Amino acid sequence: MKKILFYSLLFIAAVQLSSCSYNRMVGKDESCKSQWGNVQSAYQRRSDLIPNLVNTVKGYADFEQATIIAVTEARSKATSIQIDPSNITPEQLKQFEQAQSGLSSALSRLLVSMERYPDLKANQNFLQLQSELEGTENRINVERNKFNEVVKEYNSQVRGFPALITAKIFGFKERAYFESTPGSEVVPTVDFKKEDKK
């Protein structure tokens, strides 16, 4: 009789621990999905600004067409990558980030080349778009940092004891973090004299 009572209490305790851990994991999982939506929204805002920026720049006939084409193609590539927020793998996140980095690089080249176009730099529409783009880049950074924070909380829950037992039973897995792109710590150099010779 004592054995039956002991195993019954053990079973009840395990169920209680599991259900509490399960509910917290579900909440943290939803936070990760929600924050991923915020990340995508910030990137989408940037993507939506680009056509207006490109159209403003196109108004200057002598502007480098190769730069405009590079921005347009990079935007197309960046918007083509879709990730399921419930199953983000490190590989998918890396592919997404590479496409977004390609777009950031193309935009940087576009904005750097503005130095040779004083009329364009003074254009109010362009200045407003440039300001919005800079603000959006800041939003992207903030949302990515928040994403990493909620992923950290989720991963800590999934890997902690006794929650890891519940995680394994119900299929909760660690999520990937945003990481900096290799080489992003190197500041690009711009040499207008070299570019003018081309």
- The predicted pLDDT at position 56 comes to 81
Alpha helices in 59-162 (DSSP H): 65-80, 90-113, 118-122, 124-159
Q: How high is the mean pLDDT in each 10-residue block of the chain (198 residues)? A: 72 62 89 93 91 81 76 91 85 89 88 78 81 90 94 92 85 86 52 43
Between 3.40.50.300, 2.60.120.10, 1.10.1380.10, 1.20.1440.20, what CATH number should domain 14-182 receive? 1.20.1440.20
Q: Answer yes or no: are the C-beta atoms of 63 and 117 closer than 8 Å.
A: yes
Cα 174 from Cα 158, distance rounded (Å): 7
Token pair, residue 121, equals 């730099």
- The predicted pLDDT at position 195 comes to 44
Cα 129 to Cα 44, 49, 119: the distances in Å are 15, 7, 15
- The predicted pLDDT at position 187 comes to 47
Q: Per the confidence metrics, is the pTM higher than 0.85? A: no
DSSP state of 114: G
